[in-house]
Chain A
Amino acid sequence: MTAVDDGAASAPGERIELLRQMIRIRRFEERCVELYSAEAIRGFLHLSIGEEAVAAGLLGVLEPGDAVVSTYREHGHALARGVPMNAVMAEMYGRATGCSHGRGGSMHLFDGERRFYGGNAIVGGGLPLAVGLALADSLRGRNTVTVCLFGDGAVAEGEFHECLNLAALWRLPVLFACENNRYAMGTALKREHAVTDLSLRAAGYGLASWPVDGMDAVEVAAAARRALESIRGGRGPCFLELRTYRFRAHSMYDADRYRDKAEIEQWKARDPIPRLFAELRAAGAAGPDAQVKLEAEVDAEIEAAVAAAESAPLEPITDLTRHVYAETR
């Protein structure tokens, strides 16, 4: 793997922030598992535990005007993008205060104000939206980038190929960010792709593309900065293959029978959270109790979000047919 470190992400304050964001995402999702077991939240629940370095590293370096298109495994993306935790948690509960007013749930988190465009449950379905958002931004003369997140499974869909071609042809400001966690549900990378080095695929469409250690938030942030700079410089779309791993099953319904326990343990040994914490300690940038302190802060935020969601009103049934069409024409 190419080691990318331009030093830009190495400031201790920024590393602490990456650590804090990863802990926030992990603890949020762990709490969601409890809430799911307690039947407080329902539906499909796809966790990104293990993959937090991607969300924290990539989304942490965006500008407010940039757009993000995401998938159904997007709690971490939404939180790292700045969607308030209260709004995300309330959406998990299906409440009126949820970021999609109870109509989306775990898989369809949206925040128009923060340009967070979901929340797409159709594998590959978000890629064309990203191309269009980037087209609109570039035609309107905004120097923004649209970041499009998707999995290794989506790379096999036709839309991936149509969209990379289109974005490269029109030199659009899109960062295609493939979160390669090596599985599409139960299908291992080598059973879904003839060529498993996914960054080669994008190179075939003329995009600048490179693999990144997706278990290292600092490296993800550095790679994202480099890609964003190239895109903002007008050099067309980029593709990052973020090599990562999910520690949990595909969803709460998945018995996880398709992979070796030993493989999971190997990847857990590369857990991005203890890894970054150890680095910070070694550099003298964090004391022994830093992680505990961060966790306590984060837990307080999560409990407040749970309490707010539990007491939030339900979206009234009389509003069932609202938001199918615009209310004023």
Chain B
Amino acid sequence: MTTYREAVREALREALIRDDRVFLMGEDVGAYGGCFGVSRGLLDEFGPERIRDTPLSESAFVGAGIGAALGGLRPIVEIMTVNFSLLALDQILNNAATLRHMSGGQLGVPLVIRMATGAGRQLGAQHSHSLEAFYAHIPGLRVLSPATVADARGMLWTALQDPDPVLIFEPIALYNSEAELPADAGAVDIDSAVIRRAGTDVTLVSYGGGLRVAEAAAEELAGDGISAEVIDLRTLRPLDEATVLASIARTHRLVVVDEGWRSVSISAEIAARAAENGYYLLDAPIARVCTAEVPIPYARQLEEAALPQPGVVAAAVRKAVS
């Protein structure tokens, strides 16, 4: 069995071995082994030039990653969590996402930024938010969230082949999850959503940390004879709308599960597109199960109550199919 953490580490190792332009840079990625233990051992294997510890200065080192990409390298920049990425938001939005267009196509930024996201470990508000939607709002970026061990292993290499900046959001709650990973596991497609469970009565759309919740709900519903199709978006920008619409054409019902806040979220985008382009396919109102509109609280029962739970998803589905 391989953990999600080990899968990301293997992906990093592979990238560092395959392309000498690749290096990893971020706070505590080296001597400490990564704040979530992802890069443990890599400093010994690749040395301090390629596993580069940085001072606490998100804007400077993310921007330096952008500069290094302009200069011909293939940096992988790790930001501890999405919460701290906001200190580098200027660099990501105003430079990484924008330089190609502003320069009339002359300058590309082939950069990968990885960061942890999401709640579930009682870390309180400033360490638990799911802000992927902020980034999915921005043209010029590609935004991924691997929800499975295989995707954690496979998305990085594909992302490194991209000529544009790619952001990879790794849900904190998944680092310890495990799965069987084939020995030859490798690069995966980052263009399309994937159907994780086929079904006929309802389409459950999710991504990242929300996928477990959707899958658990689908399992519970199967016991009641309700067949739910579970879609993992994988890529939040650009969105693979076609896979979602094709599924709705079969099931005629849509429930979206999103660990972001409901307002102005990925779930809002999915619902809007389904309404714009799939209105006549739908037999029931679209439903959304999202994180409560509160800063994520510390206390376990409050944190759980704030996050989407399988029971709530199942209830939303029952209502939609009734």
Contacts and interface: CB of A to CB of B under 8 A. Distances in A.
- Genuine A/B complex: yes
Interface of A: 67, 69, 98-104, 108, 110-112, 117-120, 122, 125, 127-137, 139-140, 146, 158-159, 162-163, 165-166, 169, 322-329
B67 A128 contact: yes
Report the 5 A-B pairs with minimum CB-CB distance, sorted nearest first. A132-B67, A128-B63, A136-B71, A101-B104, A162-B60
Interface stretch (B27-35, B93-101, B144-152): B93-101
Contacts of A322: 105
B100 A162 contact: no
Contact of A104 (B68, B102, B139): B102
Interface of B: 23, 49, 54-55, 57, 59-73, 75, 90-91, 94-95, 99-108, 139-140, 142, 161-164
A110 B103 contact: yes
Contacts of A327: 105
Contacts of A329: 161-163
17 contacts: A104-B103, A108-B102, A112-B103, A118-B102, A119-B102, A119-B103, A127-B60, A128-B60, A128-B95, A132-B64, A132-B66, A132-B69, A132-B75, A163-B64, A323-B105, A324-B100, A324-B140
Nearest to A327: B105
B57 A162 contact: yes
B226 to A, nearest CB: 39
Contacts of B72: 136, 140
B122 to A, nearest CB: 31
B63 A125 contact: yes
Given A129-B70, A139-B49, A112 B106 contact: yes
A124 B58 CA distance: 14
Given A132-B69, A325-B164, A329-B161, A159 B64 contact: no
Contacts, number: 156
B116 to A, nearest CB: 21
B70 A133 contact: yes
A100 B102 contact: yes
Contacts of B75: 132
A129 B63 contact: yes
Contacts of B161: 329
B67 A169 contact: no
B156 to A, nearest CB: 16
B103 A118 contact: yes
Question: Counting chain A CB atoms within 10 Å of each CB, which of B67, B70, B163 scores highest?
Answer: B67
A92 to B, nearest CB: 14
Given A128-B67, A139-B49, A159 B60 contact: yes
A304 B236 CA distance: 48
Contacts of B162: 326, 329
A120 B99 CA distance: 10
Contact of B90 (A110, A125, A133, A165): A125
B15 to A, nearest CB: 16
B104 A166 contact: no
Contacts of B60: 127-128, 131, 159, 162-163, 165-166
B55 A132 contact: no
A103 B101 contact: yes
A125 B91 contact: yes
Contacts of A326: 100, 108, 162-164
B103 A158 contact: no
B14 to A, nearest CB: 20
Given A128-B60, A128-B67, A165-B55, A108 B94 contact: no
Given A110-B103, A162-B55, 15 more contacts: A67-B71, A101-B103, A101-B104, A103-B103, A110-B102, A118-B102, A125-B94, A128-B67, A129-B64, A132-B75, A136-B67, A162-B57, A162-B61, A163-B57, A166-B64
